[in-house]
């Protein structure tokens, strides 16, 4: 039988008695009695319910995996990737920006957006002396670290179960330069083809 009781207790050396709530119950065939001086009746009833239902108290979450630990784990999983060294350099830049010991859960959409804005505003110098010119980073240069951190965070969420969710990351739109180059090559090849119908189609186009 389970029940909640109010009991009197006093601190050794003091005459004043205080009231406290406790509960007693039979759990798995064993008598259980628990109390705390600060419990109210509601607290005691809630703790009794937890004990009877065998509900474990929620454990506080630790700081979780850091960016440096996530980077090492990422590189280990991508060891056979041909561009792993390029990924390593990008990860070094990300660690310098966000902090190597920063918990991965603290790399939020807001912080990533600030980093993206910083990259978009960055200017690089090409050439030397009077011939030097300043140009902003290309969309591809802005996107590479963003795509990498997005992939890293997805791995941490979906496979490593290290973070609860993945922040939304928007990439910059890149010009379809290679696609246009391929189309031009295909058109040139078609124009030189011995197939009259194919040559005619290119001319009409």
Q: Is pLDDT at 171 greater than 80 in this prediction?
A: yes
Q: Would residue 85 count as lying in a domain?
A: yes
Q: Would residue 62 count as lying in a domain?
A: no
Q: For residue range 10-44, list pLDDT tens digits in order.
A: 656 666 666 778 888 887 778 888 878 778 888 88
The tally of domains found in the chain comes to: 3
Question: 160 and 76 in one domain?
Answer: yes
Name the residue among 83, 71, 171 with its Cα closest to residue 119. 171
Q: Would residue 193 count as lying in a domain?
A: yes
Question: 153 and 110 in one domain?
Answer: yes
Q: Would residue 90 count as lying in a domain?
A: yes
Q: Which of 11, 29, 53 is the last residue of a domain?
A: 53
Q: For residue range 42-95, list pLDDT tens digits in order.
A: 888 888 888 877 755 555 555 689 999 999 999 999 999 899 999 999 999 999
Q: Would residue 58 count as lying in a domain?
A: no
Name the residue among 21, 60, 24, 58 with its Cα closest to residue 42. 21
Question: 108 and 83 in one domain?
Answer: yes
Question: 135 and 83 in one domain?
Answer: yes
Token reading at 86 = 């390029």
Low-confidence winner among 46-60, 71-85, 119-133, 151-165 (lowest mean pLDDT) = 46-60
Gap between the Cα atoms of 101 and 182, Å rounded: 44
Question: 147 and 137 in one domain?
Answer: yes
Question: 165 and 113 in one domain?
Answer: yes
Q: Would residue 46 count as lying in a domain?
A: yes
Question: 181 and 82 in one domain?
Answer: no
Gap between the Cα atoms of 128 and 99, Å rounded: 32
Gap between the Cα atoms of 138 and 99, Å rounded: 25
Question: 76 and 49 in one domain?
Answer: no
Structural domain boundaries enclosing 183: 176-205
Q: Would residue 25 count as lying in a domain?
A: yes
Question: 183 and 167 in one domain?
Answer: no
> In residues, how long is the chain?
205
Question: 16 and 97 in one domain?
Answer: no
Question: 197 and 145 in one domain?
Answer: no
Query: 4: which strand partners?
Result: 23
Q: Would residue 59 count as lying in a domain?
A: no
CB 69 within 8 A of CB 121: no
Return the beta strands (E) in the chain as ranges.
Answer: 3-10, 17-27, 30-36, 123-126, 133-136
């Amino acid at each position: 039988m389970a029940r909640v009781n109010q009991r009197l207790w006093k601190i050794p050396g003091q005459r004043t008695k205080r009231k406290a709530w406790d509960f007693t119950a039979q759990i798995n065939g064993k008598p259980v009695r628990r109390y705390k001086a600060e419990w109210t009746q509601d607290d005691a009833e809630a703790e009794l319910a937890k004990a009877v239902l065998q509900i474990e108290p929620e454990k506080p979450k630790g700081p979780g995996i850091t960016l440096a630990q996530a980077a090492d784990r990422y590189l280990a999983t991508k060891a056979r990737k041909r561009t792993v060294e390029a990924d390593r350099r990008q990860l070094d830049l990300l660690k310098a920006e966000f902090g190597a010991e920063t918990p991965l859960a603290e790399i939020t959409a807001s912080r990533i957006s600030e980093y993206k804005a910083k990259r978009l505003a960055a200017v690089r110098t090409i050439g030397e002396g009077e011939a030097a010119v300043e140009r902003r980073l290309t969309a591809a240069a802005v996107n590479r670290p963003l795509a990498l951190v997005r992939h890293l965070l997805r791995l941490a969420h979906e496979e490593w179960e290290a973070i609860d969710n993945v922040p939304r990351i928007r990439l910059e739109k890149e010009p379809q330069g290679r696609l246009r180059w391929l189309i031009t090559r295909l058109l040139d090849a078609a124009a030189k083809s011995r197939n009259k119908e194919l040559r005619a189609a290119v001319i009409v186009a």
